[in-house]
Amino acid sequence: MKHEVLTSVLVLALSLTACGGGAGNDDWASSDPSARAISASSFDIQDAWTNLNNAPYASQLKAHGPCPGTYILSNSTANVAGVQVMANVVSTNIAYGAASPCDSPYENKSAANITNIYYYYAVVNSQYKNYYAYDNLYVYVWRAVAAFPTSAKVGDTGVIGVVDKYTSSNSAKVGIQVWSYAIEEDTAYSVIFNLIVKHYDTTTTSYASAPLGKTEQFRYLVNLSNGVNQLQLIQYDRIDADGFTVQGRLN
């Protein structure tokens, strides 16, 4: 069974001031270093990823770097004229820009850009598994359905999936994304799921020797709340090949 889900990896709205709101459930290990510990528990990241994408959510971070402002990752139910399109369709957009030019030499990064990205999920045993996506410029095809860990402990690492990137206009291959993860310590009852996405510029099927265009890291707080595996974005880091960086933090 396949479901269409409209969601974005991020909404990055850069302005000179940060706005209010955002998700709750602070990362206690960050606010209270004495709470940091290595959890002996294992966590079902696949189930937590499904829960994250199966309901509207929003995480808001303060963006630091050459273009300071606000970083928001969110999903919301897709509506047309106020009517829900279909079940399991989630809508958001990617907005990247700044109210004033970014710091030199990255002034070109401030150009406003708004786009929607649609993620498609294969639903296997009630679990969402990424396999296809597109936006207004590119198509992203997973070589196999995404494989999130189901029993992850601190120190675990692995590859989630390899994604081929094509232009929407003529289906020309322009890159490869590699999704991987690392499970990091937080408290005795929670861990950090570090989703690492590396973007390679290549027209071939191999990325081993391809130039790395940028690396993104999405750090999610993972815990079990009332028997439900939950993810909350608490940190975002991006570094481009040209040295441009974005750091998204709760404060």
Do residues 232 and 51 make contact, with C-beta atoms less than 8 angstroms apart?
no
**Per-residue confidence at 87, pLDDT binned at 50, 70, 90?**
very low
- Strand pairing of 212-225 and 118-124? unpaired
Mean pLDDT along residues 136-141 = 89
Tokens of 152: 């992850």
- Listed in order, strand segments (DSSP E) in the chain are 2-6, 11-13, 57-64, 69-77, 79-80, 83-84, 90-91, 94-96, 113-115, 118-124, 127-134, 138-142, 157-167, 173-187, 190-201, 212-225, 228-240, 245-249
- Strand pairing of 57-64 and 228-240? unpaired
Buried b (16+ CB within 10 A) or exposed e, 204-213: eeebeebeeb
pLDDT at 45: 97
pTM over 0.85? The answer is no
Task: State what percent of residues in the chain have pLDDT above 70.
Answer: 73
Residue 58 is which amino acid?
A: A
Highest mean pLDDT among 16-25, 53-62, 100-109, 173-182: 173-182
Per-chain mean pLDDT for the chain: 78
The string of pLDDT tens digits covering residues 107-132 is 777 654 555 677 777 778 888 888 88
pLDDT at 11: 47
Residue-range domain boundaries for the chain: 2-249
The string of pLDDT tens digits covering residues 2-51 is 555 444 444 444 433 333 333 444 554 555 655 788 999 999 999 999 88
- Helical residues (DSSP H) of the chain, grouped into ranges: 28-31, 45-53
Choice between 137 and 22, residue whose per-residue pLDDT is larger? 137
